[in-house]
Amino acid sequence: MNYGTFEMHPAVWNDGEAWVRYGATGTDSDWRNIDFAQIMMGARPMTKDDFEQAFPALPPIPKAAFHASLKDLSERQRNLVVEVMANHPALTVEEVLMAFGM
């Protein structure tokens, strides 16, 4: 897992998926999945310790983040799944995917 900032916002990414926290409401819906190429071109990496020190009160990354079932979805579809899960926390990724026929 990699940590840093993207456009001055906290960002977390791995080898194929990236999440950035926009907004300040304190909910996991503030996290947005962004195109991996964008993070590779614009991220400013940080150590995990520096990241946690700079952003001590971040809400958790959505349950859908870094979920293997979402890797083939578009950014828009992934964000839709994240939004639905934020509004219905008892649902699993698989249940949301099935509901939308994904």
Average pLDDT over residues 92-97: 86
Query: What percentage of the chain reaches a pLDDT higher than 90?
Result: 35
Residue of higher predicted confidence among 46 and 28: 46
The C-alpha angle with vertex 85 and arms to 54 and 101, in degrees rounded to 5, equals: 135
pLDDT band per the 50, 70, 90 thresholds, residue 27: low
Rounded to the nearest integer, the mean pLDDT of the chain is: 86
Q: b/e per residue, 65-79, with b = 16+ CB within 10 A? A: bbbeebeebeeeebb
